[in-house]
Amino acid sequence: MSVSESLSPRSSDIEPVIPTTPLVSFFERLQETALNTFGETNFDPKLYVDLSLKFDLPTTEDAFVKLPKSANGSLSAEDLKGFIEKYFESAGNDMVYCEPVDFVPEPEGFLPKVKNPEVRAWALEVHALWKSLSRKVSDQVQKRPELHSMLPLPEPVMIPGSRFREIYYWDSYWVIRGLLASKMYETAKGIVTNLIYFIEEYGYVLNGGRAYYTNRSQPPLLSAMIYEIYNKTDDMQLVKKSLPALLKEYCFWNSDIHKVIIQDSQSCNHTLNRYYAMWNKPRPEATTKDKKFASKISNVSEKQQFYRELASAAESGWDFSSRWMRNPSDFSTLATTTILPVDLNTFILKMELDIAFLAKVTGDNSTAMSFIEASQSRLNAIKSVFWNEEAGQWLDYWLNDSTCKGCQTWEACNQKQSVFASNFIPLWVESFYSDTSLVEKVMKSFQGSGLLCAYGIATSLMNSGEQWDFPNGWAPLQHMIVEGLARSGSKEARSVAEDIAMRWIRTNYVAYKKTGKMHEKYNVEKCGEFGGGGKYAPQTGFGWSNGVVLAFLEEFGWPQDQMIDC
């Protein structure tokens, strides 16, 4: 029996939906009323699901239904504003600022390779941003959780910033990489403790720390966080505490809904994974928008499926992208659950390798062996299903349908021929470095792909208007590709990596000087310009961008007389 078969719970429910709380349902009603009353201008639906109640839910609902309505059922903006002020705490009040225990303005041994004084001064400013992003869940949430969508957590968190006022799963990996460069090991461990707490409570790491994020996860990088922290701190206690949680998380990703079997041309079966949210309704943080996107779908089960595709795209972290659409100009053709994604399977390969490593250091050789075997099977699967020799890239694989009963036969035409940054993510994992001709081929393919722009790596080649597409560049994608090239063992690849890191640092620096802020995403065609598109206004702060700048400066440094302006 394989490691995933022996660990995986067999769910009989193939279309699972995790129920939401009465509070979140009420917030959704409030959100819809707010849109109808205040109008579209500057409307952010997430604001309404991030409020806290001042009184209990029945009292608040009672006051809500008693609000005076005109003949056509509408409320006055003044009445609704007054109601919100009287009955709710503002969004963000459920977290309090908290000074990180291990923050010092200039840590000893901070970024030793950064010699240029201007770059060093800026890096210290970015380092200081940890103070503005550090929060602790308020005591009010711990005392009366039923009044809040914020979930209680044992340790402080780093929020991404702006409208993202809670912890996020995959963002935390790059936050932690930055914290390690900032020598803030205790803060990094606290973040991991929170994510482990999610696994203990829910069986997996939630998309984020809110009651409306309990129906899906995000790209699984917890093992990678623990691996990085252990390498810097040798903290065996942390490893021992995390292993049971990692095994549980591994089961979650290998549950029936996430698992797909593909039979290759040699009749060999491969198990791979996909994103699959346990939700078939509008995402509460975007109910008003999701209903609008679904408005032209009249069939009830097709509508439910569309909502599942939306939530599954959110689970992928790439919400939203032409990558998940059958027809990139029609958002209602989202088909996330019909795709086996290259990056998700790379993350699970990394999880297998990390668990094997962490089990070995605790002396648990039998777990280590099983996970080495699991990683070898996945390597074969990645090669057989995703690798495309002609392109020199790993391509997402489109399933024949999303039901995934039994196994599907591999067909070359099901590899998606479009170029996405995710096609190069496997190079982030060391398993591929021993094949020097493969590294060379992938590097050449990347250089000729069109993704490498003047100020970083574009997410795709298509300008669909979605945020996970051209011309946006995202910190996590820059980091994984740069780190993969830099560690691959090829000298040339390392110098390509350094060049990309410098382009990215430059544009982050110039944007910071212009706006005073670090941004969630950047426009890789224009120096110092932040990204746009998508379904919400561009955000600042910003956890993963700060983390990647610090990690790049740690790895490559910045020479004394190298200019940083564009």
Ligand X SMILES: OC[C@H]1O[C@H](O[C@H]2O[C@H](CO)[C@@H](O)[C@H](O)[C@H]2O)[C@H](O)[C@@H](O)[C@@H]1O
Q: How many chain residues bind ligand X (CB under 6 A)?
A: 15
Read out DSSP for 480-534?
A: HHHHHHHHSS-HHHHHHHHHHHHHHHHHHHHHHHHHSS-BS-EETTSTT-B---S
CB 164, min distance to ligand X, A: 5
Which member of 317, 392, 426, 533 binds ligand X (CB under 6 A)? 317
> Do residues 76 and 58 touch, judged by C-beta distance below 8 A?
no
**Cβ–Cβ contacts within 10 Å for residue 514, how many?**
12
Catalytic residue list contains 319: yes
Q: Is 164 in the site for ligand X (CB under 6 A)?
A: yes
- Stretch touching ligand X by CB under 6 A, among 67-75, 104-112, 314-322, 384-392: 314-322
Q: Is 170 in the site for ligand X (CB under 6 A)?
A: yes
Q: Which of 487, 471, 490, 338 lies closest to 426 in space, CA to CA?
A: 487
- Stretch touching ligand X by CB under 6 A, among 167-175, 508-516, 523-531, 546-554: 167-175
First-residue to last-residue Cα distance in the chain? 56
Which member of 27, 83, 168, 552 binds ligand X (CB under 6 A)? 168
Among candidate residues 309, 319, 466, 554, the one labeled active-site is 319
Which member of 50, 155, 166, 319 binds ligand X (CB under 6 A)? 319
Nearer of residues 285 and 309 to ligand X, judged by Cβ:
285
Among candidate residues 155, 171, 228, 520, the one labeled active-site is 520
Nearer of residues 136 and 519 to ligand X, judged by Cβ:
519
Instruction: State which of positions 42-101 bind ligand X (CB under 6 A).
Output: 46
Nearer of residues 170 and 455 to ligand X, judged by Cβ:
170
Nearer of residues 208 and 533 to ligand X, judged by Cβ:
208
Nearer of residues 339 and 358 to ligand X, judged by Cβ:
339
Instruction: Identify the residue whose tokens are 């606290």.
Output: 190
Q: Is 160 in the site for ligand X (CB under 6 A)?
A: yes
CB 285, min distance to ligand X, A: 5
CB 319, min distance to ligand X, A: 4
H-helix or E-strand spanning residue 246: helix 236-253
Q: How many helices (H) and strands (E) does the chain have?
A: 19, 16
Instruction: State which of positions 250-289 bind ligand X (CB under 6 A).
Output: 283, 285-286
Catalytic residue list contains 390: no
**Cβ–Cβ contacts within 10 Å for residue 80, how many?**
19
> Do residues 550 and 127 touch, judged by C-beta distance below 8 A?
yes
CA-based radius of gyration for the chain: 23
H-helix or E-strand spanning residue 340: strand 339-340
Nearer of residues 355 and 524 to ligand X, judged by Cβ:
524
Read out DSSP for 13-65?
A: -SS------HHHHHHHHHHHHHHHHH-STT--THHHHS-EESS-HHHHHHHHH
String marking each residue 199-218 x if it binds ligand X according to CB under 6 A: --------xx----------
CB 209, min distance to ligand X, A: 11
CB 427, min distance to ligand X, A: 21
Please give the C-alpha separations between residue 126 and each of 74, 291, 549, 550, in angstroms, as whole numbers. 47, 39, 8, 8
Residues of the shown chain interacting with ligand X in the complex, contacts defined by CB under 6 A? 46, 160, 164, 168, 170-171, 207-208, 283, 285-286, 314, 317, 319, 536
Q: List residues with catalytic annotation.
A: 319, 520
